Structure formats: structure tokens, C-alpha cells
Amino acid sequence: MKWWQKAVFYQIYPRSFMDSNGDGIGDIPGIIQKLDYLNDGTPQSLGIDAIWFSPFFVSPQKDFGYDIADYCNIDPCYGTLEDFDRLVEECHKRGIRVMLDLVVNHTSDQHPWFLESRSSRDNPKRDWYIWRDGRGKKPPNNWRSIFSGSAWEWDEHTGQWYLHSFLREQPDLNWANPEVREAIHAVIRFWLDRGADGFRLDVPHTYCKDPQFRNNPPFWKRPPLDRQRLRDKVFFEKTIALFGLPDFQYKQYNLHQPQTHEILRGFRRVLDEYPDAVSIGEILADYPETVASYYGRGDELHMNFYFDFAECPWDAGAFRRRVEHWLSLLPAGSWPAWTLSNHDRIRAISRYGKPGVENQQAKLLAMLLLTLPGTPFIYYGEEIGMKDPRLPKRLIQDPVGKKLWPFHKGRDSQRTPMQWDDSETAGFSAGTPWLPVGPELSARNVRSQDKDPSSLLNFWRNLIWLRKKKTALLEGGYRALTENIPADCYVFSRSTPGQEILVCLNFSRKPRTIPLPGKRTPLFSTHNLRSKKPVDTLTLAPLEGCLLEA
């Protein structure tokens, strides 16, 4: 197996993890201070094997690092290239791999490439971006920005429109230009040569556009969606369309274009020059079949996130069906990745949590995440049950929240400072944090949970370290058990020729009895008090998860 197939990944949003200099913004030296917390080689640490870092490259911070003005340098608010080198050294010393965020659908409008491109129509870098004549005084076509409004911005100086799939400060690169491809390949090599171990690709499904720039059709002309997804999509798009915000259109011609796969094969050829390098894609699509296509024939992305899993209702059967549907779609030899939270979506505990049982639910989800076949990704603070606060409009920093309030309140709530202790700034900064600290700080912080054997933090620690020891959980096959299993339980087996582990998850708030396929010995539970005697029938407490060995 490759290292990334056995790894537990941890996503750090650098701005919010640890501030070393008191300016209220997290930074690379602050991250280095906390690496022992993530993995010091002992079960007293979390046991993380790899970190995905959200962008810390030079940026005007219009989209907090996802608008990059220099791909090969570190933004001063986060540190220096020397700090990055020390980060790599300290991570590797602890057996932690380093994954960077590759944001190359667009650059910042302050990137030297774009400044050259917009300087004149005959500049050599003009074709590095997407420029078009308009239709009279109207944009070239009807494409809409993912962040609302037209995807086109008028440039008075050169008398043309440029394309931006996101903010107007984020002009799209022209991936039809071979020079752009070579420039980004050079960026990839720069960071791999400097010690990075791979990349998370930001929205690669947006890279390529229809060469004819045809108008997108209306929403109702898209292929059929499943009922729940259609209901969610129609409600959201109808609501915001009333206020002239996003689009109410089917993005047929500016997302998921067939030539994207050749771009990704080019990336893969570069990555394959470095035998241990890995890639994972953030593919947002209405159909999981579309997401699965980005594995190619084993020659595109190594892994893809499956966001239907993170958006599943609290229902055992729904989780099982989505897991099995995704596994059935993967091309032969492909490897799944799983996540429940990230910097763009509601934290799982805030999405699912019910008063009084939130931590039980969080432990159950952790057990599911860490026992499925594939690679789990944890979002910073998930291990202590950090929750999304409700922020008033005056505190919103996210440009999406500012633009779409109150219909979309932005992504700040899932980006609040890491909660290291219960002090006023949660131990994150000696200054005023760039975002307020989250709720329930007295209980949801590292210091208070560290010494509590029954805490959520210690549950994550214990299960991650157990996972490392159990071959069946790392590389075993998957088989769901459904016969005589209660509808609100999810039971599956992970097995190798020499080992089998049964995973039993009760999503109900009532006890449930599971008939076992022969005698099994309880190995690990979300609930502390459980006999280790072999049993052939297992009674699960409400919201209990249990691992058993043959």
C-alpha cells in the first residue's frame, strides 16, 4: 500500500490554527509549535499522518488565500519560505506528510501574470487569461459566477471582458494555453522539490470552458436529479434568484468540460516524477458518477472527496447506501477518501448535533469515518467537537457571506480559531483573533479534554492509534451486513485473510440488538463500559458504536 492509503489526514486552515506573534492571524511558526499535539510518536498525541494546509501563499486575501498573487512564496502574514522549510522538516521528523492546496483555476487580479495580461491586448500574457469581446455593452454570454452575479468583468483599459468563475478579483486562467500548463507544472515541481508530498486540487472541474462560449441553458434543462438533491437545489436557487444573486442556470458549458481530463493527466505525469507524491480533488458535481470520472483510468487524480457522504441525513441506511454507491462507482484500483467537515461546509457536529447527545453523535461519526475503506480526512477542531457559532453580519469576513447575506451567511463559522484552552482567546492568540472564538469554550478545548479519558479528543486519539495496528481497518475488504439488522443501524465487516473486524453503529436514540455471525469479542466502543467477553448477540446502547474481533 502507498503511504497515503494508510494515512489519517488533518486539514489545517492556517489563519485559524495558532498565532505565534499576537496579530490575531494564525501562521506557520504557530503551526510548528503544535505539531507534537498532532503526532509526537505516542498515543498521547492525535496520531495524524499527513496535513493538508489551506493556502498560505502570497495573496491580497480577498478570498483568504484562495486568490494567489505569487505561487512560489509565502504570504508575510503567515511567515516566510524559511518558515515553510522548517515546517516541512519538523513535519517529516514526526512522520507527518505535507499536502498543499493547489489553487489554479484562477489567480489573484494582483498576480504579475494578470497585471501583464490586462496591460494591453498584444501583451504576450494576454492569452494566459480568458478575454472576450462583449455583445454590444453586454457580457460575452450569460455565464454566472459561483459567488453570484455575472462571471464577466469589464476592463476599461483594454475594452474587453475577462472571465472570473468566483470573485472578480479572481480572474480565470486560460487552460487551453500550453504556456499556462507549463507554468503550473513548474509550480508543482517547485513545491515537491522543496519537500511537499502532494496537493489538494481546488475546484479542478472549473478549469476548462466551452471553446465556443455558448450560453448556459436554464436550470430545468439539466439531467434529472434525485429527489432530495433536486429539492435542495431548487429551493436555494429560486430563493437567491429572487434577489438577483446567483444564476438559476445549468452550468453546462463552464464546468466539467471533457478537456479537463487531459489537464489532470498532465498533472499526474508531473506527480509521477516523484514516486510518493499524491493528489486529491475537490470535485463538486450533481452526480457522483461525474466525480468518479476524475480518477480517469488510474492516470488522473489519486483520490477524490465524495461530498454526498458529508451531506447525508442522520440515517444509518442513507449512510450505507451512499457509501456503497460510491464504492461501486470507483474504477478498478481506485481509492476513496472520506470527510465530514471542511473550511467550506458546516461542521458535522453542528449539522447533526442534538442537545444532550452531541458528543455521542460525534463519536459515532468518528468511528464511521475511521473504519470505512479508504483515507479519512479530519478538519481541525473536529477532534474536540468545535461547533459553528452564529455570527452577526457585522462580524462576517467571508466575501460570500457579505454578498449573499442573509440567504448564505458565509463560511466564517467553520473557520473560527482553534480552541486550545478556555481562556478568552482560546489559547490561539495573545491578540484579538481575526474571528470570534466558537461556542461552549469551557468544554470544547484541548486542555480540558486532554486529561479526561472519556473526552471526544481521547476517543479520537485511541481510535486513530488502534486503526494503525489493525490491518483489516487499513487494507481489508468491505462487506455490509443487512440480514436481521435494525433499519437504524449500520453494520459492516472489514477483513483480510488473517483478521476480521465488525463495525456496528447504532444511529438510533434507543437500544438496538445486533445478531452476530458467530462469536465476536468487543474491541472498542464509543461507550466506556463494555465487557470484553465474546458474544454472539450485541446490544448497542443509544448512539453507540462498537468494534468487534472474530
- List, for residues 451-507, the tens digit of each pLDDT value: 999 999 999 999 999 999 999 999 999 999 999 999 999 999 999 999 999 999 999
The mean per-residue pLDDT over the stretch 325-348 comes to 97
Q: Angle at Cα 484 formed by Cα 483 and Cα 490, nearest 5°?
A: 75
CATH architecture assigned to 3-106+177-210+254-464: Alpha-Beta Barrel (3.20)
The span from the CA of 420 to the CA of 428, in Å, is 6
The mean per-residue pLDDT over the stretch 212-222 comes to 89
What is the Cα Rg of the chain in Å?
A: 24
CB atoms within 10 A of CB 10: 25
The mean per-residue pLDDT over the stretch 16-20 comes to 99
Task: Judge contact between 481 and 452, C-beta under 8 A.
Answer: no
Q: What percent of the chain has pLDDT over 70?
A: 96
Q: Please tell me the predicted confidence (pLDDT) of residue 230.
A: 52
Residues designated as active site: 202, 282
Say yes or no to pLDDT of 225 above 80.
no
The mean per-residue pLDDT over the stretch 441-456 comes to 98
The span from the CA of 289 to the CA of 223, in Å, is 13
**Distance set, CA 530 to CA 9, 370, 382, 492, 548 (Å):** 29, 20, 25, 20, 11
Global confidence as pTM: 0.96
Of the candidates 200, 220, 206, the one whose C-alpha atom is nearest the C-alpha of residue 9 is: 200
The domain ranges of the chain are: 3-106+177-210+254-464, 112-163, 217-250, 476-549
Task: Judge contact between 524 and 549, C-beta under 8 A.
Answer: no
The span from the CA of 255 to the CA of 310, in Å, is 22
Say yes or no to pLDDT of 32 above 90.
yes
- 265-312: pLDDT as tens digits: 999 999 999 999 999 999 999 899 999 999 999 999 999 999 999 989
The span from the CA of 488 to the CA of 532, in Å, is 24
Say yes or no to pLDDT of 244 above 70.
no
Strands 198-201 and 97-102: parallel
Confidence bin at 229 (pLDDT 50/70/90): low
For every residue of 146-202, DSSP letters joined together read TTSSBSEEEETTTTEEEE-SS-TTSPBB-TTSHHHHHHHHHHHHHHHHTT--EEEES
Burial category of 311 from C-beta neighbours within 10 Å (exposed 0-12, middle 13-18, buried 19 and up): middle
Confidence bin at 168 (pLDDT 50/70/90): very high
- For the ranges 13-22, 210-219, 241-250, 410-419, the lowest mean pLDDT is seen at 241-250
Say yes or no to pLDDT of 228 above 60.
no
- Return the CATH fold of 476-549: Immunoglobulin-like (2.60.40)
CATH architecture assigned to 112-163: Alpha-Beta Complex (3.90)
Confidence bin at 236 (pLDDT 50/70/90): very low
Confidence bin at 237 (pLDDT 50/70/90): very low
Of the candidates 440, 517, 434, 433, the one whose C-alpha atom is nearest the C-alpha of residue 481 is: 517
